[in-house]
Amino acid sequence: MQKSLAKAWRTLFFLIIGTHVMEGSGRMVVTAVGVNSQTGIIFTLLGAGTEEEEKKEKKGKIIIKKQDGAAAMEMQPLKSAEGGEADEKERKKVSVPKKEKSVLQGKLTKLAVQIGKAGLLMSAITVIILVLYFAIDNFVMQKRPWMPECTPIYIQYFVKFFIIGVTVLVVAVPEGLPLAVTISLAYSVKKMMKDNNLVRHLDACETMGNATAICSDKTGTLTTNRMTAVQCYIGDVHYKEIPDPGVLPPKSLELVVNAIAINSAYTTKILPPDKEGGLPKQVGNKTECGLLGLVLDLKRDYQPIRNQIPEEKLYKVYTFNSVRKSMSTVIKLPDGSFRMYSKGASEIVLKKCSHILSEVGEARVFRPRDKDEMVKKVIEPMACDGLRTICVAYRDFSSNPEPNWEDENNILSDLTAICVVGIEDPVRPEVPDAIQKCQRAGITVRMVTGDNINTARAIAIKCGIIHPGEDFLCIDGKEFNRRIRNEKGEVEQERIDKVWPKLRVLARSSPTDKHTLVKGIIDSTMADQRQVVAVTGDGTNDGPALKKADVGFAMGIAGTDVAKEASDIILTDDNFSSIVKAVMWGRNVYDSISKFLQFQLTVNVVAVIVAFTGACITQDSPLKAVQMLWVNLIMDTFASLALATEPPTESLLKRKPYGRNKPLISSTMTKNILGHGAYQLIIIFTLLFVGEQIFDIDSGRNAPLHSPPSEHYTIIFNTFVMMQLFNEINARKIHGERNVFDGIFRNPIFCSIVFGTFAVQIVIVQFGGKPFSCQPLDLEKWMWCVFLGLGELVWGQVIATIPNSRLRFLRRAGQLTQKDELPEEDVNEENEEIDHAERELRRGQILWFRGLNRIQTQIRVVNAFRSSLYEGLEKPDSRTSIHNFMTHPEFRIEDSTPNIPLIDDTDDDSARRRRKYSSQPSSPNKNNNAIDSGINLTIDTSKSAASSSPASPLHSLETSL
């Protein structure tokens, strides 16, 4: 209690003191408010106004509420197809839900749909052929009559055929794809966290693998955000490095230390590092921190000077502003005279200097030609090195008479220059190498900063963003807007397309400029592949560009909450090199999925053809249903876990991005799939038709319905599994590499799954018995199975020697999953993609609502005629509908926006009749207007059952419906 009271008194004390100190008057000019202000513009670009629109779009839904606390259910309204073309487009925009989909998701969705259709077709054909073969062979060729007592046997055969068909379908459908994607993304996200990438949106890491451009901020990302003094000019000598204090004139050194320590905000400090071995912390103004760092580099300490002359003893302070571009502080010396220390932009302060300290620390005349020579020999070379030049000067005043401190022009003149310091925000040491990796990987890095163009160009050269002799653009925001806007001030995509390909540095940029650049690159259609843009930023101003980008990177240390909220990935160390790791992990996700696809599609092709061909020839599948399910488990769950957890390597950064339109299955992958599939089919069919002769065993073909497992078919099953295990090792490489064992022991999960699967296979074959349709094998037959499986590794080397140029037809096959163009009605104004499963579900809902609406319309018409026949027998507000079997539901129509018409044009008359008779007869116009204007309309159906006659045929019809 005492602590709280003391805190309250202390707060009140500071409030009174602060109010007293800040007493005064002022004027303020409001130039913009709301969405027209800079903050309003930023939040508009961030989409802050979309919430109200979403609330409006939610209106117009039929809400069905059940009593007794049952859950509420919402349905889209059923509207008639009236209105013009504009209304039609508006309805589609409002009622069709959009779901943004990543590049990999789109490709996988199409591939899964195509494989599923092919598997369903093969399954249906297999069942039809088996049934027809059985029926023709028994009832036509052998002319057997259908005997009732044999019906159970026939049914068992048909069930067997159906199970074979289902087995083919299960093996063909790639249900392991979602699992592989999820495992790969989750594994990558976990590992990326260790690389200082906090992923907020799961698909961002996969999208980053396709990145073709990175628009990076400068301060804090490419640089350390630590202003550091690196050059200085003291005593007529230009030091390229900070000199030893012993070589400087003592008087000049003393003036430099006092001027910097006193003539800076006392809140600006350099504190010890938080961690041992870290860099000191800079608190306050970064430029002043750089100057204080110079004092420390000169083996001096600024704090004792500040303690000797505390802030309350400062006689006069001319704070820094954009007009004077300098700061000056006046102190009173012990003899009563005054001394003013000044610092500021070198070109401004030097103009006010009439003297300069010489090499011995004495003031000499500073003539205009000396100033010009200093600008050419000192200032310009520093600026060309990307340094910010600060001039430090002083002036002494006599105490009698005391100067007129309000006459600022006279006070800030006739100065004596002490030194010129060149400070910079140094480039992070790892950034140049990281940018070189990006460029080698086919990613263009652009710097977008608010600094002046000279500093930005110098930093870009140091980072390696631009190189001498290259054809590039380095412009500021003003020139950028002049090039991309027409006479009306509107941005044109054609003009942006002429600028962004060569643009490497955009300086003095506003938040709108950065957003415009990112949007222009994304929307560009110049290249065959759409650009995938990543953006880095740390401030609120970067929020719009971070949200617009395909992948937004926010700084975890220096980033604002707005920037983090708009981003997809947060860099916990504010380091550009972490972006390169994100690129590497993104490409690894893509490759992991491709490895899994290469393995699974090989198994799919072989298993489906073997089951189909074997069933058609022998009326039985060589691989039984349980065996197929075990194979399906190997190729789906275990393979996705093994191949989706491969760690990334530096080789991923030595190739170009895949791009949005590049097929998911490359020609090399198609070659491997078909090549290994052919090898496995040859082995399987050889064992199927001549295996009993090779191993001198009984044939398993044409076995009776409930015959015991055969050694023949067990060898086929075991060999098939062995080939999949060794082909899983081949599937680790998808770009034609020969060394398939490279880095295999860096993935313990893969090794564990391979050896674990082999062990389980031994158990299944030797002890599986009838449940797995397996007969135990001796050591010799096991060795043959393993030997045939090892042939996959040798055959993989043979396939690798075949050049892709000889197999031109595979290019067509490799384009199996090329991204389709969505129909016009499925694309909104931002060209967002719609999930196929969601679209199919919506179509089913539309058909259901359409049929429901037609029945409702017909019932209401019948009710209208019945009400005219039984007028007076029932109340006019009593209406029955298809929902009268429900427990008195309440229908509430809240419709303020038009929606997709779910009724055909042929239903216009019935729709009009429905609107006519759905309201009370006493005020039909009123209710119609209520519907049109969005007023809630409540239809009570609680009395319909009681008011209707039980014997009425119409009522019976409605109840049955």
Lowest mean pLDDT among 43-57, 390-404, 719-733: 43-57
> What's the farthest any 2 CA atoms get from each other in the chain?
136
pLDDT at 266: 92
pLDDT at 785: 93
Q: Which residues pair with 890 in a beta bridge?
A: 65, 940
Q: Which domains does the chain have, with CATH numbers?
A: 104-190+584-647+661-813 (1.20.1110.10), 197-222+429-574 (3.40.50.1000), 228-424 (3.40.1110.10)
Q: 838: pLDDT confidence band, cut at 50, 70 and 90? A: very low
Q: 72: pLDDT confidence band, cut at 50, 70 and 90? A: very low
When pLDDT is averaged across residues 134-147 and rounded to a whole number, the result is 82
Q: 686: pLDDT confidence band, cut at 50, 70 and 90? A: very high
Lowest mean pLDDT among 92-101, 171-180, 487-496, 611-620: 92-101
| pLDDT at 424 exceeding the cut of 90 | no
pLDDT at 302: 93
Q: Tens of pLDDT along 24-41? A: 667 888 888 877 776 677
When pLDDT is averaged across residues 244-252 and rounded to a whole number, the result is 90
Q: 7: pLDDT confidence band, cut at 50, 70 and 90? A: low
| pLDDT at 286 exceeding the cut of 60 | yes
Distances (CA, A) of 368 to 348, 374, 394: 14, 10, 19
Taking the C-alpha atoms of residue 744 and residue 760, their distance in angstroms, rounded to an integer, is: 21
- Tell me how crowded residue 731 is: count the other CB atoms within 10 A of its CB: 27
Taking the C-alpha atoms of residue 202 and residue 188, their distance in angstroms, rounded to an integer, is: 9
pLDDT at 171: 74
- Burial string for 860-873 (b: 16+ CB within 10 Å, else e) reads bbebbebbeeeeee
Taking the C-alpha atoms of residue 857 and residue 913, their distance in angstroms, rounded to an integer, is: 8
Q: Tens of pLDDT along 504-525? A: 999 888 888 888 999 999 988 8
Distances (CA, A) of 761 to 395, 721, 728, 785: 91, 8, 15, 12
pLDDT at 787: 94
pLDDT at 871: 45
Taking the C-alpha atoms of residue 414 and residue 528, their distance in angstroms, rounded to an integer, is: 64
Lowest mean pLDDT among 113-117, 517-521, 948-952: 948-952
Highest mean pLDDT among 15-24, 301-310, 941-950: 301-310
Highest mean pLDDT among 110-114, 132-136, 142-146, 416-420: 416-420
Q: 87: pLDDT confidence band, cut at 50, 70 and 90? A: very low
Of 46 and 360, the one with more pLDDT: 360
What is the average pLDDT value for the chain, to the nearest integer?
76
Of 736 and 483, the one with more pLDDT: 483
Highest mean pLDDT among 58-67, 317-326, 405-414, 699-708: 405-414
pLDDT at 214: 93
pLDDT at 76: 37
SS3 14: helix
**Beta strands, E only, 496-626:** 503-507, 533-537, 551-555, 569-571
Q: Tens of pLDDT along 811-835? A: 544 343 333 433 333 333 333 334 4
Q: Which residues pair with 355 in a beta bridge?
A: 365, 416
| pLDDT at 502 exceeding the cut of 60 | yes
Of 932 and 33, the one with more pLDDT: 33
pLDDT at 866: 52
| pLDDT at 264 exceeding the cut of 60 | yes
When pLDDT is averaged across residues 765-785 and rounded to a whole number, the result is 90
pLDDT at 911: 41
Active site residue 907: no
Cβ neighbours for 241, distance < 8 A, ≥ 6 positions apart: 230, 231
When pLDDT is averaged across residues 257-281 and rounded to a whole number, the result is 87
Tokens matching residue 937: 């309309």
Lowest mean pLDDT among 801-815, 831-845, 857-871, 897-911: 897-911
pLDDT at 849: 55
| pLDDT at 902 exceeding the cut of 70 | no
Residue type, 152: P
Determine which one of 195, 203, 217, 538 is catalytic.
Answer: 217
Of 254 and 15, the one with more pLDDT: 254
Q: 573: pLDDT confidence band, cut at 50, 70 and 90? A: confident
Q: What is the sign of the dihedral through the CA atoms of 885, 886, 890 and 892?
A: negative
* CA neighbor of 938 nearest in space, from 37, 62, 67: 62
| pLDDT at 900 exceeding the cut of 50 | no
Of 63 and 764, the one with more pLDDT: 764
Q: 743: pLDDT confidence band, cut at 50, 70 and 90? A: confident
**8 Å CB contact between 468 and 683:** no
Highest mean pLDDT among 202-206, 826-830, 898-902: 202-206
When pLDDT is averaged across residues 902-925 and rounded to a whole number, the result is 40
pLDDT at 679: 94
| pLDDT at 526 exceeding the cut of 60 | yes
Q: What percent of the chain has pLDDT over 90?
A: 24
The C-alpha angle with vertex 308 and arms to 307 and 313, in degrees rounded to 5, equals: 95
pTM equals 0.65
| pLDDT at 455 exceeding the cut of 90 | no
When pLDDT is averaged across residues 773-784 and rounded to a whole number, the result is 91
pLDDT at 130: 83
* CA neighbor of 836 nearest in space, from 848, 847, 823: 823
| pLDDT at 405 exceeding the cut of 60 | yes
